[in-house]
Amino acid sequence: MKTEFEIKDKTRQTEEIKIAPFRKHIRKTSPHKHNSYFEIIYRTKGQGSHTIDTKEYEIKPPVVFTI
């Protein structure tokens, strides 16, 4: 079974690094790919989980994810 994922590239072509805070109103996203970039997530507070490649990781701040 092959699954297609939407590719989201939120950087502008002139950017090499994008730094942005999480939007508080987004609680869950659909599965997606990262197209030719890495994402570094640093959480200082909060709780929940982050699922990567069907594996769920519990969030216990402080934590850093590299995707």
Question: Over the stretch 1-51, which tens digit does the pLDDT of each residue have?
Answer: 566 766 666 666 666 777 777 777 766 777 777 777 778 888 888 888 878
CA angle at 60 for the pair 49 and 46, rounded to the nearest 5°: 75
pLDDT value for 5: 61
Whether residue 19 lies inside any domain: the answer is yes
The domain containing residue 34 runs over which residues?
6-66
Residue 20 located in a structural domain: yes
What is the pLDDT at residue 1?
Answer: 57
Give the C-alpha separation, 36 to 33, whole Å. Answer: 9
Residue 1, in any domain of the structure? no
The pTM of this model reads 0.50
The pLDDT value given to residue 2: 63
pLDDT at residue number 11: 62
What does the block give as tokens for 51?
Answer: 């699922």
pLDDT for 48: 82
- The residues pairing with 50 across neighbouring beta strands, listed in sequence order, are 57
